[in-house]
């Protein structure tokens, strides 16, 4: 089981989740993806899990709560008058999925400490409850080192294992900060760089997506990504 947390919103969590799921499915594993709370999406609109199914193929998905406002799950629940989702409910759902699947991916909403409910339950509590490692999805550019370090520090202080960090959207023309951060992100995370996925990957065909997932993710996930080779190619551009 793996909990996938971003350093913020829009960093590529869903694409990373789908990429890990696609590689696992390609090697024959049973895969499930849990989204405890989906915000900013109307009841009749496709959410993040629809993107996962479109990109990764035949994986089981489960969404526990959906709120129309693009806010934290706790604030969105309060504003809509709907029931919040709790870490206990998310952990129970993850455990049920794990009984039937080789790999369960739990995708958060925003960062690790975004509130789910009025008593302050977070994705970190879900990870602790199920004993799952945390994968940090980070941005490439300026400001990402601080956000990544803060996420990793709070995870380790709460007794969680940080598996690694993945850059969720690598720009086609990386600037100096992005190129420099390739070497610095693992230091900030205190964990290895486990992948780099190109920007715009969410619009790829399923076949293209699987190929890029294999190229951009670590052998830890069944991919071919070599952080040293990538860092070397990037440093040659500086």
Active-site residue among 5, 17, 18, 35? Answer: 35
Q: Are strands 193-198 and 162-170 parallel, antiparallel or unpaired?
A: parallel
- Is 13 an annotated catalytic residue? no
Burial 91-115 (b: 16+ CB within 10 A, else e): bebbeebbeebebbbbbbbbbbbbb
Question: What are the angstrom distances between the C-alpha of 21 and each of 68, 172, 219?
Answer: 26, 24, 14
**What is d(CA 194, CA 198) in angstroms, rounded to the nearest whole number?**
14
**What is d(CA 34, CA 123) in angstroms, rounded to the nearest whole number?**
12
Beta carbons of 198 and 216 less than 8 angstroms apart: yes
222, exposed or middle or buried, with CB in 10 Å at 0-12, 13-18, 19+?
middle
Among 150, 190, 153, 147, CA closest to 168: 147
Q: Which residues are catalytic?
A: 35
């Amino acid at each position: 089981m793996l909990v996938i947390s971003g350093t913020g919103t829009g960093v590529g969590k869903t694409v990373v989740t789908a990429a890990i799921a696609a590689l696992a499915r390609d090697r024959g594993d049973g895969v499930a993806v849990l989204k405890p709370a989906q915000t900013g999406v109307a009841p009749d609109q496709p959410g993040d899990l629809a993107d996962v199914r479109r990109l990764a193929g035949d994986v089981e998905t489960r969404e526990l709560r959906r709120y129309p406002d693009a806010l934290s799950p706790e604030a969105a629940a309060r504003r809509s008058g709907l029931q919040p989702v709790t870490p206990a409910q998310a952990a129970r759902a993850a455990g049920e999925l794990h009984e039937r699947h080789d790999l369960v991916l739990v995708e958060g909403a925003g960062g690790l400490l975004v509130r789910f409910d009025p008593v302050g339950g977070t994705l970190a509590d879900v990870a602790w409850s199920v004993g799952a490692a945390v994968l940090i999805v980070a941005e490439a550019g300026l400001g990402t080192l601080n956000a990544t370090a803060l996420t990793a520090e709070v995870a380790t202080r709460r007794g969680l294992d940080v598996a690694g960090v993945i850059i969720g959207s690598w720009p086609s023309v990386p600037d100096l900060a992005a190129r420099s951060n390739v070497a610095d992100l693992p230091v900030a995370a205190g964990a290895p760089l486990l992948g780099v996925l190109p920007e715009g990957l969410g619009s790829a065909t399923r076949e293209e997506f699987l190929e890029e997932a294999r190229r951009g993710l670590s052998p830890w996930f069944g991919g071919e990504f070599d952080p040293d080779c990538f860092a070397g190619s990037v440093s040659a551009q500086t």
